Structure 1
Amino acid sequence: MIGCAGGDGPGPRDVLPPGACTPAVPPDTNPPSGAETAAGGSGPLRRVIRIVNPLGLHQRIADRFSRTARKFSCAVSVWNGSTRADGKDIWALIMLVALPDSEVVLEVDGADAAHAAEALAAILASPGGEDYTI
């Protein structure tokens, strides 16, 4: 497989902006699915979310997620294991290769982080990818 999920050779990795999908140290993922963490109300807000869509985090969900994320001023990241994707970049989200029944970590940091976390978590946790309201 090529791109952020691993592999070698030319491919989608070459067209992603620097930092859009980067292997790094993942945030603490010990909380159970749906849990929120934030250090005393400061720092990034994190939610562990189970991907329940039978197709995983596919293009339609990634598109809706990234378009919604761009409406917020806060930074948005999605982690799949040790790989981080910019939540405002559809291609980075697709390259996470988040399969059905996997858990990802949604990380938001900024002034409107709580509102963003609520809206974006609903998209990721939706079985159809379209059963949410903004």
Structure 2
Amino acid sequence: MKGGRLVYSKTVRITNKTGLHARPASEFTKKASSFSADITITFKERKINGKSIVGLLSAGITCGSDILISAQGEDEQLAVESMVALIQTNFGE
């Protein structure tokens, strides 16, 4: 929470077989970077910048993992909904 404002968040399960590695992580960060909102992934109590490919790759998010996607900013709801949709379509795999 920044400046006393709540953030928009949703939990989603990673279902693609490779998890958030290589190509899926690249697609995730590319899409996340298209929004002005700050996007944060919470995984196993660790907070990761959703626009950082290094952060996503080092988090070890595998198939079956539940992650919390949070965003704060002008387009926060659209950002979270778009990121959830990307994950639910298995990154087009």
TM-score with structure 2 setting the length: 0.88
* Structure with more of its chain in helix, by fraction: 2
1:74 touches 1:110 (CA, 8 Å); kept in 2?
yes
Residues 107-126 of structure 1 correspond to what in structure 2 (within 5 A)? 107-126=70-89
Q: Which of structures 1 and 2 has the bigger CA Rg?
A: 1
1:76 touches 1:86 (CA, 8 Å); kept in 2?
yes
Equivalent AA in structure 2 for residue 62 of structure 1: A
Higher RCO, Cα 8 Å, sep 6+: 2
> Residue 41 of structure 2 corresponds to which residue in structure 1?
78
Segments of structure 1 that go 5 or more residues without pairing to the other structure are 1-41
Q: What is the alpha-carbon distance in structure 1 between the residues aligned to residue 12 and residue 46 of structure 2?
A: 15
Q: What is the alpha-carbon distance in structure 2 between the residues aligned to residue 107 and residue 118 of structure 1?
A: 10
**Per-residue Cα deviation, 1:61-95 (whole angstroms, up to 9, x for no partner):** 11111111111110001111111110011111111
The CA RMSD measured in Å over matched residues stands at: 1.6
How many aligned positions are there? 90
